[in-house]
Amino acid sequence: MTKFFTITHCILFTLVLLTRTVSSAPGPDSSSFYIQHFTSENGLPQNSVKSIAQDANGFIWMATEGGLVRFDGRDFNIYTSKQLPVKSNRIREMIRGLKSGNLYAVAEDYRLIRIAESKVSLLPKINKSYSSFAIRPGDSVIAYRSIGMPNMYAEFITKNIHYQLPLGPHRYFLADADTVRYYEKGQEQWHVPFQNENYLHFFTIGEQLYYLDNDAAITVIRRDTLLTSPLEGDIIYNAAYREKQAALYWNVVSGDVFLYLNKCLYLLEERSGGRLHTRLILPDFDFNLNNVYSVHYDRKNERLFLGSQTKGLFVIKRRGFLTLTAGKDGPGGAAFYAQTAYPENKVLTDKGTIFGLEGFAGYLPLVARHGDSHSIITDPAGNIWRKKLYQVSKLSPDGRLLKKFILPDYTAQLYRDRNGGIWIGTVSNGLYYLDTLEKEVRHILPVSSEITYMKEDADGNLWVGTKSGLYRLLLPEMKLDSVGGLESKYIRSIYLPEPDQLWLTTAESGIYLYRDGKLTNFPLDKHGYLASSHCILEDEQGYFWITTNRGLFQTTKKDLVDFADGKSDKVFYVYYGKEAGFNTNEFNGGCQPCGLALENGYFSFPSLNGMVWFRPGDVRAELPLNDIYITKIEIDSIVRAAEDTLNLKSHFNRMQIFFTTPYFGNPYNLSFKYQLKGPSGSNDWLDVESGNMISFSSMPSGTYRLTIRKQKGFDAAGYTEKQLVIIIPPVFYETWWFKLLVVLGAFLLVLLYIRFRLNNIKRQNEELERRIAERTLKLKETIFAEQASKDKLRQQNYMQQRLLAAITHDIKSPLQYLVMAAKALHENFPARDGNVEDDLERIYRSSSRVFHFTENLVRYMKVNMAGARLNNGPVNLRGLINEKIDIFSEMAESKGNKIHNDVDCSISLRTNGQLLGIVIHNLLDNAIKFTRSGQIRFSSVQTNGQLKIILEDTGKGISSEMMDWCNNFKAMNAEPETDLSHKGLGLTIVIELLDMIDGKLFIAKREQGTRIELTL
């Protein structure tokens, strides 16, 4: 398919008036035509268009030297030897089947290409005797066949051979030089004598046979009569009528017959009595210059297709709109705004120019001088009212200045009410009023924004549009109400066709309907041109004509009201652009009146380049009514046949679906949407972005339903839809059996995984238990080590406290004796006192005690701090006690104490003698300290395998607190902070050393003194 993006040979011109004779004829002789010119540069495969036909679906088919061409109004679809198995791309002509009525194209080798449902297929090769213009049962020609006019084989046709004009299956006319015969099923039914000069002047319309005489008359050939009559209609007004022979153009496919004369083309139409009427359908177009060979006329849309032998295709449409200007040198320029009705169905513009159907009709310079572009009105007397800056002026119908009125503010708009009074809207001071007496301009009330439009309703209230909303002035109360929802809207115009319908156009928000207190904003066109709407005019058929900055729109009031009532969710608009007859698509607004409906039925709208006039009843909206057709499907660049059901392979990367609809109007009126339902589709309607192609990437398997639709007309005409079923088979991994295998496999894998997982968990648990056991053991060892370290630290701290207490307590007494002995020695030494010897003895004894104490302390410290192992051995208890008695004998004697050792000399025990000696040493030391002039006695008792060593004294006795502390003391469990100074380090050491040698200490009070029992 060849896509054209711009119509490079778009010829838009206004036809000049023909000669006096032609211009006086009815018809489009002075109308404008829009011409599209297509060549090989913008779509055609080749520039020889030899035959044109239109199928039942609306497509245009053309026979060219470069292939068979289908045209939908926008795109050319070309069929050549690449698409069809033909030897040559050349197509001879288009014909219609007499039996089926199908359309056929005749290929170069006379094979027929059938066109059915707008699709092509090549038929088997026909009989070699067949020729498009000659019937050859054998080697000789027995008849020529009519193929329409012009006939490219005209030079081969001679009068010595019959000429056949087919009518239907087995029905035809057969003419020779002097007779016309009619046949059915090979049998002659009737004949009539008829002398003719040229077979190519015969033609048929329907079932009737005609002959074009050289004098522009027509002969009607019937069974028993020949009727010759002159042509009727538009052709008789042609200056060349009867002076030149009209050329016959006969399209045998459509059955239309045309006459071309003096650059004018006429359509022949049958009338009663066999008369033929000519209607001018194209003036001032030179067929000879453009080498026109084939003609097709679309009567419904009044569109003409002309095929040239050398210049391609011309598509010609009569424009229904007339644009009026004063010409290049005319006054005021071509940009118009406000206008008012003028006598004789003319209009007077803001520029002072007067226009009628004949064009520029006059100029009133003072009208332009005393006014601006925004407002112009006339009163019942025909006087013209203008405004400019602070001034309102009244002028006579012929443009003379009659009065002036000066206001305190810039004027914005003028409006005449039904009573003849004139309302004056200003830029900032609101509303003023001038009654019919025209004596004084009265200020009515202020309005907060510049006034842009005014309109009186059936109740006499005045609706006031502004740049920031809509207001209603209630009369005669002079109360101003605002309409909610429009506060920020720039009101461009107000239309009040009925009491309960207020239609508004706005600068940026489109069209509104205000009815029964409800405001409805209508949907815009697809590109939003209606957002800046200028004006609404309603015709007698109920159509709204709406001007914008981008063209003219047509819709029905019924569609809009149904949308407002919720009966419909869409509004259909028909768009008209420059091709319809405008000099520009930009219409003007912001003026009052914004448009006029004249008494002769014409509408007048101002534009940036001319006044646009048209009669709504003469403008036939070209609606996109035709069906949608899928033309081509490409799967990964491979073309597939366009069918209603598309079966695809499982894997594809890109699918492109091309579609079209025959529509020769403005392409803007085509708006396609599509919906794809299926596994990966949705219910949403999406816009077709690329014009006539929908593209999909790879899709999951399943059945999809693609629906393409377009709106096809007014009044809820609905949609034209085309559906395509797309079936994508599942790949092997999407089939049920594969899914079942996958499920089973997954189940087995899950079981295997569970088993593996359980075994793994079991191994992990075993490993964990092993590691826990190892770590528990290590933890225990660590705890034991930490506990031992802690105990050792505590013991060291404890021994430090004991050592300090020993230094301050136990070493103090021997030192005291040493000091005393030393002092006595010093004092007695000069006198040589005999007590010196005793003093020296004391010093010796005390020093000996310090030595033994120190030695015991060192042993104790070694045992506790160094962690030395105890060495047990046999110990003679009596001997050990005697050793200690010898150490303390001096001290005991000095205090008057006597020490007795009643332990049996035979008692021997196995223990650590050093530690037991320290215990006895400390106990004896304490007994001597707290006994004066008393008795100290050691004894022993053996009971139940245990040995008790008893130490009794007659001293002052131990306190109850000390006794309880000793009896309840736990070795090495005392808190480090415990103050031991008053307890005596000796007893503490005794208890702890006893604990080391598995001994126990028990202290009891006597009537006099203390009893200590050591149990080993």
1: pLDDT confidence band, cut at 50, 70 and 90? Answer: very low
Binned at pLDDT 50, 70 and 90, residue 428 comes out as: very high
Contact between residue 132 and residue 145 where contact means Cβ atoms under 8 Å apart: yes
Identify whether the C-beta of residue 444 lies closer than 8 Å to the C-beta of residue 433: yes
Three-class DSSP labels, 876-906:
EHHHHHHHHHHHHHHHHHHCCCEEEECCCCC
Beta strands in 427-532 (DSSP E): 431-434, 441-445, 451-456, 462-466, 469-474, 479-482, 491-498, 501-506, 511-515, 518-521
| Distance, CA of 398 to CA of 547 (rounded, Å) | 30
Range in 51-55, 253-257, 884-888 the model is least confident about: 884-888
Measured distance CA(624)–CA(753) in Å, rounded: 65
Q: Enumerate the β-bridge partners of residue 677.
A: 705
Element (H, E) at 71: strand 67-71
pLDDT tens digits for range 70-103: 999 999 999 999 989 888 999 999 998 888 788 9
Q: What is the pLDDT of residues 210-221, one digit of tens each?
A: 999 987 789 999
**Strand ranges in 343-440 using DSSP code E only, listed in sequence order:** 346-349, 353-356, 359-363, 376-378, 384-388, 391-395, 401-406, 411-416, 422-426, 431-434
Tokens of 324: 């009026």
Which has more pLDDT, 554 or 773? 554
Q: Which domains does the chain have, with CATH numbers?
A: 322-618 (2.130.10.10), 629-722 (2.60.40), 736-863 (no CATH), 871-1015 (3.30.565.10)
pLDDT in tens, 301-328: 999 999 999 999 999 999 999 999 998 8
Q: How far is CA 54 from CA 60, 93, 119, 833, in A?
A: 4, 13, 13, 169
Lowest mean pLDDT among 163-167, 454-458, 729-733, 922-926: 729-733
Question: Cis ω on the peptide bond leading into residue 679 (within 30° of 0)?
Answer: no
pLDDT band (50, 70, 90) for residue 39: very high
Is residue 6 very low, low, confident or very high in pLDDT (cuts 50, 70, 90)? very low
Q: Map residue 362 onto helix, strand or coil.
A: strand
Name which of 33-42, 250-259, 282-291, 984-993 the model is least confident about: 984-993
Check residue 465 and give its pLDDT. 98
- Average pLDDT of the residues in 463-492: 95
Plot region of 944 (φ>0 → left; ψ -120 to 50 → alpha; else → beta): left
Does the structure show a pLDDT above 70 at 812? no
Mean pLDDT across the stretch 752-767? 88
Q: Are 527 and 485 in contact (CB under 8 A)?
A: no
Burial label, 767 (beta-carbon count in 10 A; 0-12, 13-18, 19+):
exposed
Give the total residue count for the chain.
Answer: 1016
Task: Considering only the C-alpha atoms of the chain, give the largest distance between any 2 of them, rounded to a whole number of Å.
Answer: 206
Mean pLDDT of the chain: 86
Rounded Cα distance between 508 and 490, Å, is 7
**Exposed/middle/buried for residue 600 (C-beta within 10 Å: 0-12, 13-18, 19+):** exposed
**Mean pLDDT, range 976-1003, rounded to an integer:** 69
Single-letter amino acid, residue 149? M
- Choose among 35, 60, 64: nearest CA to 49: 64
Rg of the chain in Å (alpha carbons): 65
The whole-model pTM stands at: 0.71
- pLDDT over 90 percentage in the chain: 55
Closest CA to 133 of 93, 86, 186: 93
pLDDT of 825:
64
The C-alpha atoms of residue 1016 and residue 920 are separated, in whole angstroms, by 13
713: its two tokens: 């007309």
Among 202-216, 407-421, 862-876, the minimum mean pLDDT is found in 862-876
**Percent of the chain whose pLDDT exceeds 70:** 86
CB atoms within 10 A of CB 472: 18
Token pair in block for residue 851: 């030595």
Residue 442 pLDDT exceeds 50:
yes
Mean pLDDT score, 885-904: 86
Q: Name the CA dihedral angle for 155, 158, 162, 165, rounded to a multiple of 10 degrees.
A: 30
- If we measure between CA atoms, which residue out of 877, 964, 884, 974 comes closest to residue 927? 884
Residue 807 has pLDDT above 70, yes or no: no
